[in-house]
Structure 1
Amino acid sequence: MPQWRAALASALLVLASGCATRPEPPAPPPAPVAPTPEPPPAEPVKPSRPSVPSGPPSTANSILQFRSEVANHLYQNYQGRIYKGKMPPLLYAVGVTQVDIDARGNVSNVRWMRAPSHAPEVMAEIEQMVRKSAPFPAPVRLGNVTYTETWLWHKSGQFQLHTLSEGQY
């Protein structure tokens, strides 16, 4: 019986060795690589200068004073769009925005606190007007500023900002 087991083991070894894969031929040596030229030296990175305003320096010592400067800046940019006199009692839209302005006077964000969702075209136009008016007076004394403004929008497309509003009938 032990001879039978030895023969079986030998047969299995022969079968297993027949399943082995042939060794791969050796890979050819790699082709010589041409030397790459050294890249030109990079220009030094100029550090940003956040202390230098993009817009004219603001003289405001408080958020309220700064809001008034920003409102005047917007009125200056959109003189033909300002509703003259008292606004009628029923307005097409009223919206309240919060605008983040960095220390250089650039707009970093516009958020809606009260969106006139029935008039999405007004929302888009207000956001565009704010962003196109940048740079604003740079709040160098205040640093980064978030100010709130209420937009009173007439159906004609003219507006007043609550900060400079002449009121309503």
Structure 2
Amino acid sequence: MKTIIRTSLVPTLIVLAGLSGCSSVTTVAGTVGSSIERVAEKIAHPFSPAPASKPAPAGLDDYKTQVAQHVVQHNPERNYNGKLPPMLPAIVVLEITVDRNGQLEDVAVQRSRDPDASRIALDSMRRSTPLPPPLQLAKAGGKLKFSETFLFADSKRYQLRSLAGPQTPD
């Protein structure tokens, strides 16, 4: 509701600026309008491609979120949108090792009971290389090892745990 009100104020500000002969208000109104459009775009498309230069991850959780978004961007046909069902047909946990530059050093199934889901998760990670660089999170050897969980909603589509919301109740 606030966005609608603010958006509707932009034309009013432009008209007022024109009537008062003030060009700086027009610039401010345009800036406010473009800011609102950027926020609305993020709400409508939360997994849209991010700018080329991302800030360094603040910690491991932040990095895992960046990686999860990256994997979703590179595998949109495998992404499940919406709330996960209460009974998941498969859960796959991968152990992922990346170097300081984001190159995939190793990826292995840490836990799974479904070979097809494991293959889909491994292929999705491999298609997503290079990953965002972990920078300072990489240890002295220049590598970072972490796990990511693929929550399968059906036989082919998943959500990554780092991005997933709550499941639907029984």
Are the aligned partners of 1:150 and 1:161 in contact in 2 as well (CA < 8 Å)? yes
- Is 1:78 the counterpart of 2:82 in the alignment? no
Higher helix residue share: 2
- Is 1:159 the counterpart of 2:154 in the alignment? no
Q: Which runs of 4+ in 1 moved over 6 A?
A: none
TM-score (norm: length of structure 1):
0.61
Of 115, 134, 137 in structure 2, the residue corresponding to residue 139 of structure 1 is 134
Of 120, 129, 136 in structure 1, the residue corresponding to residue 115 of structure 2 is 120
1:141 shift after superposition: 2.0
* Equivalent residue number for residue 28 of structure 1: none
Are the aligned partners of 2:150 and 2:158 in contact in 1 as well (CA < 8 Å)? yes
Q: CA distance change for structure 1 residues 89 and 100 in 2, over 3 Å: closer, same or farther?
A: same
Query: How many residues end up aligned between the 2 structures?
Result: 113
- Residue identity in the other structure for 1:125: I
* Equivalent residue number for residue 106 of structure 1: 103
Identity of matched residues, %: 28
Structure 2, gaps ≥5 residues long: 1-51
Are the aligned partners of 1:94 and 1:151 in contact in 2 as well (CA < 8 Å)? yes
- Aligned equivalents of 2:70, 2:112: Cα separation in 1: 22
1:58 shift after superposition: 5.8
Deviations 1:121-155 (A, max 9, x none): 11112111101110001112222211211110122
TM-score (norm: length of structure 2):
0.61
1:66 shift after superposition: 0.6
- Residue identity in the other structure for 1:66: Y
- Residue identity in the other structure for 2:125: V
1:164 shift after superposition: 0.5
- Aligned equivalents of 1:88, 1:57: Cα separation in 2: 33
Larger Rg: 1
Q: Which has the higher contact order (CA 8 A, sep 6+)?
A: 1
Are the aligned partners of 2:74 and 2:127 in contact in 1 as well (CA < 8 Å)? no
- Aligned equivalents of 1:147, 1:159: Cα separation in 2: 19
